[in-house]
Structure 1
């Protein structure tokens, strides 16, 4: 499967790769142990502190996460230009503490299946976020939306959060 690196426009420690015509992967290494990085993804009280990119002028209005197989999540993100928050929701289909979280994105028929993998390396952690889309067109729409840049900014915020 061909891999194309698309890291332009993302913070320097973040890599974005296009793997084939339906998979998009964002990778970043953190100088923190895997159990702390995983906890920042799995604990809603921690997740809400770093997830929404600050430069987008958005706020996380609500964050409900039941991180277990069969559990669900619902994130509502507000923006001053809209009176209605955007809702993102789905179901966790695989959860392996300190290793992997897999969930569906059900807010659209073009929603991807997201796999976040945590790999411990020399006391640090590499996070790989793979989004597998149902069609090539859905992936191209994701690329055009600027979502990769937003994810890269969120990961930069996660790095700052982990350093506190």
Structure 2
């Protein structure tokens, strides 16, 4: 019999970005933009499926295979969207069809001078002995930093 467990965690990530809220929001809302940063390194990961239906009730999926053979699968539903201000979504993470966690995430975009203050709050339940819940925050911080690099590159092109 498999031992069942759950571990609850909440973390907050904040960043100040030298770009207006509409540009920062766009990085999450636009499928082509999000595909530029919400991914894994191409030399370590192969895309299996990607789609984004960015609207309340819409879904997102990002599924890929790592060099190790592990398949990661992010499935999301958007719960609340206030353009240029807030995104709330729930998501599950799977590895090889095993559900690792279920999360509720809120991203807030607040004007800060000429830029934006981004605040991501995530409430997560890790299931059945997920080995290191700290990895979720670290991975999310890396993704946020990739989004910020993308946003700054887009701002430079404008």
Any gaps of 5 or more consecutive residues in structure 1? 1-20
Once the 2 structures are TM-superposed, how far is the Cα of residue 144 of structure 1 from its aligned partner? 3.3
**Could you tell me whether the CA contact under 8 Å between 1:53 and 1:153 is conserved in 2?**
no
- TM-score, normalised to structure 2's length? 0.75
Q: Give the equivalent residue in structure 1 for 2:121.
A: 130
- TM-score, normalised to structure 1's length? 0.72
Q: Give the equivalent residue in structure 2 for 1:87.
A: 73
**CA RMSD of superposed structures (Å):** 2.7
**Could you tell me whether the CA contact under 8 Å between 2:61 and 2:73 is conserved in 1?**
yes
Q: Give the equivalent residue in structure 2 for 1:104.
A: 90
Q: Size of the alignment, in residue pairs?
A: 140
Q: Give the equivalent residue in structure 2 for 1:148.
A: 137
Mapped partners of 1:153, 1:142: distance in 2: 19
Mapped partners of 2:151, 2:115: distance in 1: 11
**Could you tell me whether the CA contact under 8 Å between 2:100 and 2:130 is conserved in 1?**
no
Aligned to 2:39, what secondary structure does the other structure show?
coil
Once the 2 structures are TM-superposed, how far is the Cα of residue 90 of structure 1 from its aligned partner? 2.2
Any gaps of 5 or more consecutive residues in structure 2? 1-7, 94-98, 154-158
- Structure with more relative contact order (C-alpha pairs < 8 Å, separation 6 or more): 2
Higher Rg: 2
